[in-house]
Amino acid sequence: MSRVLLRIPGNLHRAVQAHLLPEGGTSEEAGFIFARRSTAGEDEVFECIDWLAIPPAGFVTRTDFHIELTDEMRAAVIKRAHDLDASLVEFHAHTGPWPASFSPSDHLGFDEFVPHVWWRLKGKPYLAVVVTRTGFDSLIWLEDPRTPKHLDGIEVDGDVLEPTRLSPLSYIPYGQ
């Protein structure tokens, strides 16, 4: 059975975790991995080629429960992916005590941002990862910008870390 994996070197994985979940941090943090698609046996692999930690100035809003990037930061991230001929892998943290799962506001953001990135990067897949202190969950838009699937795992130095798979693949906003 083939899997879809994100491959990150261990030292970078530790740097990503340290940025997203700093000791004593309470605000959501974010960053992007730029990855190229390849195959490894039967697996489809997105191989990390670069990382960008979003600095405080890259946010319009950053609270315990919500983040929004500036227009300039979004444009810079998309341009960097274009220049690298890479897919974007969004990472952000949830700092509360619950298990890793994308929130309703995350899903609303995906509805807007994923189709835009898909169009700007000429159909390259988009990946999203949410981390907590106890785990992570992940989605991938592999075939189109409206139909996510669960990523099968993140490979770190040969070990495959498993997502919680708690995030729904579709979200219906309240009141609909």
pLDDT-derived band of residue 15, with 50, 70 and 90 as boundaries?
Answer: very high
Q: What is the mean pLDDT of the chain?
A: 93
Dihedral (CA of 153, 155, 156, 159) sign: positive
Dihedral (CA of 74, 10, 38, 102) sign: negative
Question: Where are the domains positioned within the chain?
Answer: 4-161
Distances in Å between the Cα of 15 and the Cα atoms of 52, 53, 56, 135, 172 are: 11, 9, 17, 16, 34
Q: Which helix (H) or strand (E) holds 7?
A: strand 4-8
- Please state the length of the chain: 176
pLDDT, tens digit, 9 for 90 and up, residues 34-43? 999 998 889 9
The predicted structure's pLDDT at residue 176: 47
- Asked if CATH classification 3.40.140.10 holds for the domain at 4-161, the reply, yes or no, is yes
pLDDT, tens digit, 9 for 90 and up, residues 79-133? 999 999 999 999 999 988 889 999 988 998 999 999 999 999 999 999 999 999 9
